[in-house]
Structure 1
Amino acid sequence: MAQEESSVSHSVLVGASPQEVFDLLADPRKHPIIDGSGTVRGELRAPDRLSEGAKFGMRMKRGVPYRITNRVVEWEENRRIAWRNLLPHRWRYELEPEGAGTLVIETYDYSRVLPGVLSRTRVPTENLNSIKATLHRLKAHFERG
């Protein structure tokens, strides 16, 4: 785990190729499968496959149901994808080939959202816990077949 003042991240080695992992991340309909936060309920509006600049709506629930629109703000095929909503913080996945698998690094980057203020809240710790749970589910998804 790496924890900085403006981001939290965690990594896991997954028994799948970078392309297989990226294909899953680039399909918003599959995000509920790996969501470790328990908030993602399903896609609302989304292209079949995300791309740089693509927008996708998701049904969410944290206490009460709500909808959110995300936009892909970083994109490098089979290497990196990140999105954000109205606020400038980002959820980023970076993929590095490692042996027969892929090292997946997920980061919640809040460097653009008053990091000094946000780092004094529970948000970074809660998001780190969600990241760990998401990566566990991602790994299990590929290892189950």
Structure 2
Amino acid sequence: MSAYLVSESRTIAADPQKLFDIVADPAMHPVIDGSGSVQAVHGDVPKRLSKGATFGMDMKLGAPYKITNTVVEFEEGRLLAWRHFNGHIWRYTFEPVEGGTKVTEQWDARPVWNKLALRLSGFPKRNRAGILGTLQRLDELAGAK
């Protein structure tokens, strides 16, 4: 695996479509975010993501900022990915397995031009911790619904 592709998986005792629907709702992103950086949606945000949809988020990594994402990969109930201006891709896959759904979240910076800056700033390691936290929150939320 590349230093610029961080991927973690977790089996969650829930239907793939239920989990997909949570992630496909931009309003849920601050709720499931395990990094603490996603603060709120902003702007005219769709209620549900689809291929080509754009959505804004209020973020905070030290200082607050806003970011706009575009959905670049979409397969209903199975795959959802978006990227922002710098090219990072956040990807979720949902695979039915015995006992529920294997959810994989990835931070894919392989297409980014300034890889060295990302690595020097600790993003791969930081994002792994955030992904693990997000999968934990998604598991807790799915069990509560």
TM-score where L is the length of structure 2: 0.92
The structure-2 alpha-carbon separation of the partners of 1:55 and 1:120, relative to structure 1 and needing over 3 Å to count, comes to same
Hey, what's the Cα distance between the residues in 2 that align with 1:139 and 1:132? Answer: 11
Where does structure 1 lack aligned partners over 5 or more consecutive residues? none
Partner of residue 41 from structure 1, selected from 39, 43, 48: 39
What is the deviation of 1:121? Answer: 4.3
Hey, what's the Cα distance between the residues in 1 that align with 2:115 and 2:144? Answer: 40
CA-atom RMSD in angstroms: 1.5
Aligned position for 2:62: 63
Cα offsets for 1:58-99 (capped at 9, x unmatched): 111122221110000100110100011111110000110012
Q: Percent identity?
A: 45
SS at structure 1 position matched to 2:14 = coil
What is the deviation of 1:6? Answer: 2.8
| Misfit runs of 4+, over 4 Å | none
User: In the alignment, is the contact (CA less than 8 A) between 2:109 and 2:115 conserved in 1?
Assistant: no
Aligned position for 2:25: 27
SS at structure 1 position matched to 2:106 = strand
Where does structure 2 lack aligned partners over 5 or more consecutive residues? none
Hey, what's the Cα distance between the residues in 1 that align with 2:84 and 2:52? Answer: 12
Aligned position for 2:94: 95
SS at structure 2 position matched to 1:4 = coil
Aligned position for 1:138: 138
Moved more, 110-119 or 44-53: 110-119
Aligned position for 1:126: 126
Aligned position for 2:15: 17
Hey, what's the Cα distance between the residues in 2 that align with 1:59 and 1:33? Answer: 13
Hey, what's the Cα distance between the residues in 2 that align with 1:115 and 1:140? Answer: 35
Hey, what's the Cα distance between the residues in 2 that align with 1:103 and 1:85? Answer: 25
